Chains A and B, each alone.
Chain A
Amino acid sequence: MNNIKNIYFPTTLRDFSKIFKKNSSLIAGSTYFFNANKKNNLLNDIIAITELPLKYIKKDKKNIRIGSLVTFDDIENNDICKDTYFGFLSHSASNCSSQLIRNMATIGGNIAHPNAFNIMPLVIETLNGKIKLYDGKKYTIMPLTDYYNKKLSGIITEIILPLAYDRDFFYFEKIAKTSSSWESYITFSFRASVKNKIINDMRLVFGAITSMPLSSINIEKKFTGKEITKELINDISKEYSEFVYNAHPSHKYAEYRKNVVMNTISEFFSKLSKR
């Protein structure tokens, strides 16, 4: 970073658009960028986006909108996040690393730097959320997978989470050495809606396995519309444990993950059947 010439602190997106170039280096909460780039002598200019007006959590009729500069601590302690989705957002945010990091790390940064252990991409996937990207000229709203697959440049300004799932059943758990570990053996982020024991909708997402959140539309489709019975619980647990195992069979925790997925899914659907 010693060849940097300028550091900009835009306070509006208009100012941001004047200085942003495709390969601009953006820094926000600084839990990732600074250490990763300290010795990078190719950087010319940095845009510190910390002063942009993107620190808000709002609720409208259809969605929750969270500005990308909101930190994990903000989400954990925000009333809207505590009260929606039965506290799923706050609970998942509280699982991010340690308090000192939750005070700094922004959700935008957690999305922009893909990593198997990141929490926010799991949450967005579980809720079929979207992200809003500003490339200096226009805003685009897209699913997370588009952002990752198309490798688009720009600044993530907002995540949009539909309230349609507000009354669903949620489950989030990070299985790690310690609760403050950044890394985990596996992370579960589940959502399902069940009526009269019939699965109306489900979204089961796994973290820490692959760099992107892992889920299976095929398994979800196969079991949606089915009644939760003992046999179904067996089948779905087996299917998911194989699925997760096969996503990374050579990993040293592959067998462990297989077992823990089996047990967790079985418990999740057993609880659902009693709802």
Chain B
Amino acid sequence: MKKMTVGKEKSIDISFNINGNDMTVSVKPSESLIDMIRRLGYKGTKKGCDTGDCGSCALILDGKAVVSCLMPAFYADGKKITTIEGIGSILNPHPIQKAFVDAGAVQCGFCIPGMIISTKFLLDRFPTPDEKTIKHHLDGNLCRCTGYVKQIEAVRLASNRLKNTNRE
């Protein structure tokens, strides 16, 4: 049975893979996954509500899109994490990211990393989702700017474009 013992510094060492890189980090038992991620410099993941309601802190943990503000950092031990930085970059954007820009689905941009994470999870699961499925899978991502219509268009656009690429 795995057992983590809190050391003198009141922290525990955990190891995980983030965006393809293996890492070992000391965390406090009360530190949330979002705080750890941002402390490590992955600032694309945003902290909005800190109560699980807005979805801006979403990331993919072992294949599932989750909110990282409700999760202790020690839960990441032994896991594979994908943050928005692991999906694409400015120089090499993922088709989903490109579709969001091209569809005009980005205004202030605060909610977008979470939206992209939810979209990635959705399209990995259902490559050609209907509107109901898109809405259902993005229902945890709140946007204060766009009114959601453009984002649904963006997901459709991404779905079409991904059919013709072999990008994961």
Contact = CB atoms under 8 A, between A and B. Distances in A.
A104 B1 contact: no
B30 A179 contact: no
Contacts of A19: 1
A6 B4 contact: yes
A206 to B, nearest CB: 23
Contact of B140 (A30, A39, A94, A98): A98
B44 interface: no
Interface in B96-136: 118, 121, 136
Contacts of B74: 7, 48
Contacts of A2: 10, 28-30
Contacts of B86: none
B4 A38 contact: no
B65 interface: yes
B139 A99 contact: yes
Contacts of B30: 1-2, 38-39
Given A1-B30, A9-B2, A39-B30, A31 B70 contact: yes
Contacts of B29: 1-2, 4, 7, 46
A30 B51 contact: no
A226 B73 CA distance: 57
Interface in B1-20: 1-6, 10, 12
B51 A7 contact: no
Given A1-B30, A5-B5, A180-B140, A30 B75 contact: yes
Nearest to B117: A100
Nearest to B28: A2
Contacts, number: 101
Nearest to A178: B139
Interface in B27-72: 28-30, 32, 50-53, 55, 58, 64-67, 69-72
Interface string B125-160: 000000000001111110000000000000000000
Report, as a range, how many residues of chain A touch the other chain.
Answer: 35 or more
Contacts of B58: 100
B4 A100 contact: no
A82 B123 CA distance: 21
B1 A10 contact: yes
Contacts of B4: 6-7, 9
Contacts of B52: 31, 35, 97, 100-101
B71 A99 contact: no
Nearest to A94: B136
A104 B66 contact: yes
A113 to B, nearest CB: 13
B137 A8 contact: no
A8 B144 CA distance: 40
Nearest to B74: A7
A135 B82 CA distance: 37
Contacts of B53: 182
A73 B5 CA distance: 32
B41 to A, nearest CB: 23
14 contacts: A1-B72, A2-B28, A4-B29, A7-B29, A7-B74, A30-B72, A30-B75, A34-B32, A35-B69, A48-B74, A73-B64, A98-B141, A101-B52, A104-B67
Interface of B: 1-6, 10, 12, 28-30, 32, 50-53, 55, 58, 64-67, 69-72, 74-75, 118, 121, 136-141
Given A4-B29, A6-B3, A100-B52, 5 more contacts: A31-B70, A98-B141, A101-B67, A179-B139, A182-B53
